[in-house]
Structure 1
């Protein structure tokens, strides 16, 4: 479009009527396009008429043409001599290519099966070496052709000019074909940059090589020879015919392969593991023929509009475009093979930081997508710059371009720093929480505090990164911060209980009041703290009931799991028993407990005997205390109670228990109701049970005579049981 506009402007200033404004003097873009199209059509018509006239002169026997000088004998001799130069150059080039074949085979094998380096790096290195060999072969063939032109044929000026035209065209065309072989190498799998199969590569290599040869030798050899020896008009017409022939040939090949290439690109899209790559390939599959047709249309128009310098411009722009696109593909492949593949850490690092590997493997693909987006944008800008559609250095030097690039780089740097900071801090927290790092199993308090700190760090990093990125791209975050403050104030008033929960929870954790796994009493509930968050604590009591207690309702935290615990036991003995003997038996029970395998590691200090703490109604109470590791005081107490009972029974020390006294009552005159007595002629034990009878046997029921309120238990020797009335004697 810029070329069309420039050519329209070069036609000279348009004539305007007197008094016309500057705005009306400037033709509109549709007018410029119409004038340019009309001029192209006129030039093509003139060329066609001149071409018909020159051909008519040739057939009429007047071959002098425009320049008035044409010698058929000299033309035939020069053509034969030039043919010898062409034949010798092509034969030498074929021989050199055959000699270089083993080198290409070895490079291809190392590229596909070699060890060391990333596969894409091996591919690039081998393709570069093969291209260097290709260039060397072309150069040697070019030098050989010059030598043959000098020593085989002669040194006439005409021959030197004609041979130079061919040799220069040979050099340019074969270098272009060497570049095509680097992209579409059909014979050597390991020297092909594009990821396509051999059949596909061979097809496109042949088609493009034929197109390059047709255009190159036609424009760089045939057209100048006709211009020198026959007629410039005929040469210009031939040049136009060559360009139109190449254009229609290219259009026919593109339309013929439209569906086939569509299916091939779609298959590549289905194999892509990234959503963005899959969408891009599917879009390319639908539109590739449009880009190809647009390219050849632009080439044809430039050739018609700028016949003098169109070919060099198109050639260099095409080479730049191919180089940029191929470089982008290689960089993307390199990123996929080096950074995009799964990261595997060492066993020692994985043991110390178990979540680092999975975290890196989740972050790296996202970073790779961002880098690929930047690469696609850079490729588009560089391609536009190669075709003079955009002056990239001037755009970057402008204020808008500099700001945009600065924002992109700034956002990328902020995101990178935030991700690196999160990975570093989270890894350090995991290092502290991991029992295999050398510091041993972390305490419950450390686990709780570090988990809360990690959550707070994540929220803080996300918030700060979002704010900084918004500020970097030019969004005013002042109102956003003010709105967030007002919203936070409203939430604070509306959720005072929640705020109190969180603040109390933070101080409970800082003061290490309790941790998960501790046995505590919180809010009147005693149990094990199973879950501890910044707002509440989950308690599992002895019955298995799970209680969730918010910290705002916690006034006191009783923790039974700090440093050590005590079993405090109070043991009552009968008044008739010896206190010293009872204390001795308590020590014996403790010694047996401390010597056993089950609880000897749970006892921290010897038995503490506080002594007699109370003279109760029916017992003398003795208090003891056993110091244990935290959490084991209950198990140690249960085991000690069992041993105390056994030792008291063995020593005959009575442990008092409640007794029931039956009172039969008395009348106004002092008489008592009759009582049934069972007299057994058998000895009784101290509890009133006959010897050899179980506890559920007969018991002694005592009668209360008038004199006193004492219980008199009679143990007659006879086994006679009788009922007797109440006797006052």
Structure 2
């Protein structure tokens, strides 16, 4: 077996030695020339070939069975997915069996080499000495490089602490921006440390090559692996910084960050140094079959380690995701809930996929998987960072200055209403973009090739144009609506009527503006995606004409409503009579007005049915009261009592609602049973009814004190008369009295007991 190893390693020795490659070829020629050595070499090669043939024969059985079961005329793309999956699984098992069988054969050959001929033993001894010297040189380089690296990390640790402290200071609104800046600077320092350690390792490597004639290729393999692995670990430290809380991009606790960082760093180092150092050395200096088998073993051990950690942390991460889902609303809650229950399955599938592609195609699988994973992590990380930064900047309530709020009082509320909606749209776009780029990274499809086509470029352009159109439409809406508010908002301290009219007009203009912007935006978007809007506009014109003829009442409603608003006939909050209904105005639309009457009934009155509007709350109101007194009472005394009641009313709770002294209009009627006196009290608009109720109460109190009769209906009983003018006797029973009074014809009466 040692002869085979020497035969395989001879070309690499020649490349490493350069001009000194002749002795290696001479040694190989001497071995072939010697008959005993040549026969031993031939026997070992035939033994390896027989072992490989047996492995291939065993691994080919599933594929042969699948081929036998498939119709001979089927094309590869026509074979069912299940058959293709079975073939792939069979190839995976065959490759693994092939590699492990070759590894066993190679190790068996190494063990049996000690029993070979004497000249083979001498050659093996020389080879082992070279391997030992190479291992010592490699160990020196590894130790020197890592010593420099750890020393530089210790020197840079105060800088990392300063960056972390700076990121944790300041307002919460810019916390993520500060964290990103601090992490970027710390990552730059970390990369510089790795680069300096790499340079130091290169210097040590050159010394070893020049001084002890060390193998430069093996040393370069380690340095390249060190650079790749430590850069990946630096990226992990950006996400899971365990020692510096302010430099941690992933929002987890210190313990969780430490565990995740240690797990991923161990996995990265094991796979990186194993596949980038050990496997290439075995490939070049031992056997490609042995190197491939060792690479498969490395990936298998990494898979077992990853599966053990995933299963161990399955419940912990699930509970944390469920807790976070409970604090989230909307689609995010559903997504977190599903992720909590399925995350371990996705992680296991990813680990198995990485292992499978490494076994099936060991030459290119690792670079492909590493690059695809790196790109996916970059896309996901950038998407999350952008989302978090936007949430911290504009996700919370936006506070405008007092000056802006004075001029545009509704702008802050409008912005705080639209910004969360816009943020949700941006998050959805970020998620879609991350998914598209991640699928492209895994070569599910070729995004660049699709974009190079006319359809791809047109689709991307249309999407961008639509987003711009929607953003411009939203900006126009906010700008014009704010301008209307600025023009219609009354000055501070304006009377309630002016405020109500302004609110009514703003509601009307906002509705009209919103309808116009929505229709125009929809038309432009339809035209942008390629739909001819000419027929739509023509159809809309014909439909509008038909509606104009068939819905004259609707047109009348709109036109009458516009003129009512222009004449300021009613505003929100006014008490009016419109049509046959009276009530408080709750809404004034473009075609109807909504009233709420005294009983709470909600009336919608079309403007076309409004012949006149009676507004009871415009500028001021009057309480007009008519109070009747008996004919035997003094009118002047009654007026004095009315004025006294008004004086008390002015000192009561309604004093602020009385605008002028009471006016006594005088006697308005000599009615059937009373003399009516009218008074007028001027009040603030809408308060005339409350003031009237309070004044009526006081009038009753003062009339009672003065003994002034307020007439009420009287009933006179008449028992009739006979022809002589005499009244018949009446039998009158007094309640609560046992006596009965009899009235005689002559008018006398007599009492008798029951």
**TM-score of Structure 1 vs Structure 2, range by shorter chain:** 0.5 to 0.7
What aligned pairs does 1:202-217 form with structure 2 within 5 A after superposition? 202-217=258-273
Residue equivalent to 1:53: 105
Residue equivalent to 2:384: 329
How many Å separate the matches in 2 of 1:474 and 1:131? 47
SS where residue 491 of structure 2 aligns? helix
How many Å separate the matches in 2 of 1:47 and 1:516? 85
How many Å separate the matches in 2 of 1:267 and 1:559? 58
Shift of 1:233: 3.1
Residue equivalent to 1:288: 343
- Work out whether 1:356 is the aligned partner of 2:380: no
Contact preservation (8 Å) 1:520, 1:557 = yes
SS where residue 104 of structure 2 aligns? helix
What aligned pairs does 1:627-646 form with structure 2 within 5 A after superposition? 638=663
Shift of 1:415: 2.6
How many Å separate the matches in 2 of 1:31 and 1:88? 53
- Work out whether 1:221 is the aligned partner of 2:277: yes
**RMSD of aligned C-alpha atoms?**
4.6
1:15-57 superposed Cα distances (whole Å, 9 cap, x missing partner): 99xxx97969975655544444433333332322221122112
- Work out whether 1:456 is the aligned partner of 2:547: no
The gaps in structure 2 that reach 5 residues or longer are 1-59, 621-659, 668-754
How many Å separate the matches in 1 of 2:588 and 2:171? 54
Contact preservation (8 Å) 1:352, 1:436 = no
Shift of 1:120: 1.1
What aligned pairs does 1:407-486 form with structure 2 within 5 A after superposition? 407-436=462-491, 442=498, 448-466=504-522, 468-469=524-525
Residue equivalent to 2:724: none
1:148 to 1:315, Cα distance in 2 relative to 1, 3 A: same
2:565 counterpart (502, 509, 518):
509
How many Å separate the matches in 2 of 1:475 and 1:509? 39
Shift of 1:100: 0.9
Shift of 1:259: 1.6
Contact preservation (8 Å) 1:63, 1:230 = no
1:259 to 1:434, Cα distance in 2 relative to 1, 3 A: same
- Work out whether 1:193 is the aligned partner of 2:245: no
1:562 to 1:68, Cα distance in 2 relative to 1, 3 A: same
Residue equivalent to 2:131: 75
Residue equivalent to 1:125: 181
The gaps in structure 1 that reach 5 residues or longer are 1-7, 565-634, 643-729
Deviates more, 1:444-453 or 1:173-182: 444-453
How many Å separate the matches in 2 of 1:314 and 1:530? 65
Shift of 1:476: 7.7
- Work out whether 1:44 is the aligned partner of 2:96: yes
SS where residue 455 of structure 1 aligns? helix
1:97 counterpart (153, 177, 181):
153
1:142 to 1:492, Cα distance in 2 relative to 1, 3 A: same
Shift of 1:331: 0.5
Residue equivalent to 1:164: 220
How many Å separate the matches in 2 of 1:299 and 1:536? 68
SS where residue 354 of structure 1 aligns? coil
Residue equivalent to 1:317: 372
Shift of 1:343: 0.8
Shift of 1:247: 1.5
Residue equivalent to 2:746: none
Shift of 1:311: 1.8
With structure 1 as the length reference, what TM-score do the two structures score?
Answer: 0.66
How many Å separate the matches in 1 of 2:662 and 2:400? 50
How many Å separate the matches in 2 of 1:63 and 1:403? 73
SS where residue 220 of structure 2 aligns? helix
Residue equivalent to 1:688: none
1:596-628 superposed Cα distances (whole Å, 9 cap, x missing partner): xxxxxxxxxxxxxxxxxxxxxxxxxxxxxxxxx
1:384 counterpart (439, 464, 472):
439
Deviates more, 1:162-171 or 1:94-103: 162-171
Q: Which has the larger radius of gyration?
A: 1
Contact preservation (8 Å) 2:576, 2:615 = yes
1:329 to 1:347, Cα distance in 2 relative to 1, 3 A: same
1:37 to 1:439, Cα distance in 2 relative to 1, 3 A: same
How many Å separate the matches in 2 of 1:528 and 1:641? 33
Contact preservation (8 Å) 2:95, 2:360 = no
Residue equivalent to 2:310: 254
Shift of 1:355: 1.5
1:659-715 superposed Cα distances (whole Å, 9 cap, x missing partner): xxxxxxxxxxxxxxxxxxxxxxxxxxxxxxxxxxxxxxxxxxxxxxxxxxxxxxxxx
Contact preservation (8 Å) 2:508, 2:588 = no
1:158 to 1:247, Cα distance in 2 relative to 1, 3 A: same
1:135-193 superposed Cα distances (whole Å, 9 cap, x missing partner): 11111112222223344685444433322222221111111111111111111101111
SS where residue 118 of structure 1 aligns? helix
Residue equivalent to 2:292: 236
Bigger helix share: 2
Shift of 1:281: 2.2
1:558 to 1:636, Cα distance in 2 relative to 1, 3 A: farther
1:22 to 1:235, Cα distance in 2 relative to 1, 3 A: closer
1:367 to 1:50, Cα distance in 2 relative to 1, 3 A: same
Residue equivalent to 1:615: none
Shift of 1:400: 4.2
Contact preservation (8 Å) 1:352, 1:437 = no
How many Å separate the matches in 2 of 1:519 and 1:383? 63
- Work out whether 1:112 is the aligned partner of 2:164: no
What aligned pairs does 1:502-651 form with structure 2 within 5 A after superposition? 502-510=558-566, 534-535=590-591, 551-553=607-609, 638=663
How many Å separate the matches in 2 of 1:329 and 1:547? 51
How many Å separate the matches in 2 of 1:640 and 1:444? 33
Deviates more, 1:532-541 or 1:324-333: 532-541
Contact preservation (8 Å) 1:535, 1:550 = yes
Contact preservation (8 Å) 2:489, 2:502 = no
1:517 to 1:315, Cα distance in 2 relative to 1, 3 A: closer
How many Å separate the matches in 1 of 2:473 and 2:145? 62
1:268 counterpart (309, 318, 324):
324
Shift of 1:266: 2.2
Contact preservation (8 Å) 1:431, 1:437 = no
Contact preservation (8 Å) 2:209, 2:216 = no
Residue equivalent to 1:689: none
Deviates more, 1:483-492 or 1:259-268: 483-492
1:443 to 1:170, Cα distance in 2 relative to 1, 3 A: closer
